[in-house]
A and B are shown apart, each in its own frame.
Chain A
Amino acid sequence: MTATTTSARSDLSELGRSETALRTFLHGLPGVDQVGAEQRAAQLGTRSIKTTAKAQAIDLAIRMVDLTTLEGADTPGKVRALAAKALRPDPADPSCPHVGAVCVYPAMVPYVAEVLRGSGVHLASVATAFPSGQAPLEVKLADTRAAVEAGADEIDMVINRGAFLAGRYQEVYDEIVAIKEACGSADGGRQGRPAAHLKVILETGELATYDNVRRASWLAMLAGGDFIKTSTGKVPVAATLPVTLVMLEAVRDFRAATGRQVGVKPAGGIKTTKDAIRYLVMVNETVGADWLDPDWFRFGASSLLNDLLMQRTKLTTGVYSGPDYFTLD
């Protein structure tokens, strides 16, 4: 149930035209009290999800997994195996849904695309000089185009944290706009296919405060991001419940203000079914059913899937399972 929005829709498209306008807007957003936000997240973490609700949540979580491998050691063989697992996470149980997407480096995209074609499982690729983003814009754009051309329909970009922390919001904004364009909106660069979805990674572990997380979320949304994502998984602090809470509040408020819905993807550090269910509870109670869908909420994770499968088996068979019974791919 959502309360009806009484505030008028605002046109925020002009904000990106000037540094001053952006700064004024972002710094005018309500603050986030750290203790309060963390307490709210902790409270939601005490929800007890059992039996039918748990079964429902596990299947939903599986459908939301962006099954990820982002290693220097990735090979075509490794990512093909991962893609195969994405299609049939539990070969023993055909009722088990497939995951939301497979997420790989651009070089690995062609091998994954072969496996996933026509399956409904999305193909995400990190681009823009992931994970640091420390490359010239031309390189980032080329990186993006290459991934899209090779078959990625979702691009996970990193924002320029250095520029953001230095207060150069316009620079961050313009870069997101440029990458969004490179995802193939207007120019038909994807041979008639729809533009790739753009997930904007805020790298919240480097933003340090929830106020920054809220501002970066709005900045990414204003610039046209389709998803906002917490982390690369490559810095010590990845997704947390309170960070995700603040981002969920941002997408909720952004939709109320503009009418456009933006997705959220916590990534990194989500390893267990219990973790995943806590996130789903938070989605449910912060933004509601509209976001409880793989189109609007994803988990960036690798080991999470096997735990979800183990718990799923436990619910069906009543017996605790073990890691030997699930594929390691």
Chain B
Amino acid sequence: MSERVAVRKTYKLFIGGKFPRSESGRSYLVQDANVSLASRKDARDAVVAARAAVKGWAGATAYNRGQILYRVAEMLEGRREQFVALGVPADEVDAATDRWVWYAGWSDKLPQVYGGANPVAGPYFNLSAPEPTGVVAVVAPEQPALLGLVSVIAPAIVTGNTVVVAASPSAPLAAVTLAEVLATSDLPGGVVNILTGKITETAPALAAHMDVNAIDLTGVTEAELAADLEVKAAQNLKRVLRPAPADHDWTADPGITRMTTLLETKTVWHPKGV
């Protein structure tokens, strides 16, 4: 009996809940696979998809977002072996799964921790509450391919933002496979969009895009590129998360700064009277 010929997977982009090839028709060989080489136009399409998803996702209840993030953890747990097969260490998959769980719980707590009533000196009700900033462009860390990726996506979306992620160019398979997890987790299409390819091609387009509200430069390792992206981001005053230090410990408690940097605080006043 002859050995069964395996069905290979085509690794594509993840935009608006769908898996298109790059509009450019290009791919590049990495991790023994042909992976889509996203173009600036793909970045643009991803921003359109992300923007379209903002209203529904930001408008969903915190409880609902938390449930969906927890669902992602469940789906990821079920695909543990698949990631291991891609070369992701098992404990990294576990850590990534746990990170989804950790962030899932933040959805309905951060507004309490980070907002609240302010005791103004007058007859006013005054309340500050965090709100998502909108569309966030993210340069994911090169490594760890899965834990790093999850650690930048989850804090952005748990509060209601949508993201366009430039995945690790050298290890994109974890990102594309995570997209499959997300696609089966009740996450609305467009909340997470993943581009594979060269950072130098997609990130500048995202940094300069006027319909992107924030940029997370965590995965940018080259100082000059980081500065250039930050300069581009200044055009519409994007909120900026600067690159992580090279020795950043991805297993440590992430804290809340990643979430809060991508939030706006809205303060509402109203008189108290009869």
Contact = CB atoms under 8 A, between A and B. Distances in A.
B119 interface: no
A208 B274 CA distance: 9
Measured as residues with beta carbon below 8 angstroms from the partner, the interface class of chain A is under 10
A33 B123 CA distance: 12
Nearest to B274: A209
Interface string A21-63: 0000000000001111010000000000000000000000000
Interface of A: 33-36, 38, 208-209
B274 A33 contact: no
Nearest to B124: A35
B36 to A, nearest CB: 58
A38 B123 CA distance: 11
B272 to A, nearest CB: 7
Interface in B229-274: 271-274
Contacts of A34: 271, 273-274
Interface of B: 123-124, 271-274
Nearest to B273: A34
A34 B271 CA distance: 8
8 contacts: A33-B271, A33-B273, A35-B123, A35-B124, A35-B272, A38-B273, A208-B274, A209-B274
A34 B273 CA distance: 5
Contacts of A35: 123-124, 271-273
Nearest to B270: A35
Contacts of B273: 33-35, 38
**Pairs A-B, 3 closest by C-beta atoms:** A34-B273, A35-B271, A35-B273
Given A34-B274, A35-B123, 4 more contacts: A33-B271, A34-B271, A35-B124, A38-B273
Nearest to B123: A35
B121 to A, nearest CB: 13
Nearest to A32: B273
Contacts of A33: 271, 273
Contacts of A209: 274
Contacts of B271: 33-36
